[in-house]
Structure 1
Amino acid sequence: MAIRGGLKTADCLTSRGIIVSKICALCHLYEENVSHIFFECDYSFAIVSSLMRNLGFLLLRPNILQLFEYIDDSHSKEKDVYFLLVCSAVYHIWRERNERKFEGNAVSSTSLAIKIKTAVLSKIRKWKNGDILSDML
């Protein structure tokens, strides 16, 4: 849904005539849209960079599609782990956005990165060669 523009971000809701705050609930600095939330926002970029430290090009702040393309082109052995990391990051960042917007709860980018890493580790340990793959995190 994030790739196809199906998430109900502020720009999407505003275009439908629904009045909402346009400011990003994660950084409170820029207008909220899918590109900003994933991964132009300092909050989400900090999470992705901490999860995927060896992806040096992240200084360029890729969008989701660029990140998937980079992983697909460059990381054959760890591809599934990186795809899982990105998908988990998108899911958890979206949930954090909703928690902040609707519940008034917030966690730091460091805490959310740890939560994502824990969830991914839990999943890949069940895979064949999971122990080897978990060492890369």
Structure 2
Amino acid sequence: MLLVTADNLALRGWPHGPICKLCHIHQETVQHLTLDCHFSAVVRKTFAWNGTFSVLPPPGGKSLNEWWDEAISHLLKEKKREASGAIIYSMWGVWKERNKRVFQNTSLQPAAVAALVKEDIAQRAYLHTHDPGDGNAV
């Protein structure tokens, strides 16, 4: 996953602040922002994941790919898609919050970000079940 986090900005020689905009403690990397950051963990934990899969990073500093594979490995195919979608939406919500802090100088608490993620997922689910081409459109 290539996000323009502080470590990637440094590789390009672009100006940046090296510290995570969410926790204000650790260096901002893709691994930190998406998995290891306390803010991101609270967003995932706050989320009502229907109890279908683990959302907390396992101990031992696994990579994002290892964690993701482990988090969904025990699920049936349909639930794997649902869980992966929820993971993607939560990471997207965290990324949007990070960018709001960088570019708009605004900030939300993790619970508010989780609520926005839930809303995004609900809207997508609604659109999926109300496809205009299937006769169920409102």
TM-score w.r.t. the length of structure 2 is: 0.78
Q: Give the alignment of 1:1-137 within 5 angstroms.
A: 3=1, 6-51=2-47, 52=49, 54=51, 55-56=53-54, 58=56, 60=58, 63-76=63-76, 77-127=78-128
> In structure 2, what is the Cα distance between the partners aligned to 1:50 and 1:66?
22
Please tell me the residue identity of whatever aligns with 1:69: D
- What do the CA deviations read for 1:57-111 (whole angstroms, capped 9, x no partner)? 7252664313431244211142222111111111111111010011101011000
> In structure 1, what is the Cα distance between the partners aligned to 2:55 and 2:71?
11
CA displacement at 1:123 relative to structure 2 = 1.8
CA displacement at 1:19 relative to structure 2 = 2.6
- Distance change >3 Å, CA 122–CA 57, structure 1 → 2: closer
**Unaligned regions of 5+ residues in structure 2, if any?**
130-138
8 A contact 2:19–2:28 mirrored in 1:
yes
8 A contact 1:11–1:22 mirrored in 2:
yes
TM-score w.r.t. the length of structure 1 is: 0.78
8 A contact 1:9–1:32 mirrored in 2:
yes
Q: Computing the radius of gyration over CA atoms, which structure comes out larger, 1 or 2?
A: 2
**Unaligned regions of 5+ residues in structure 1, if any?**
129-137
8 A contact 2:55–2:71 mirrored in 1:
no
Aligned residue pairs total 124
Percent identity between the two aligned chains = 22
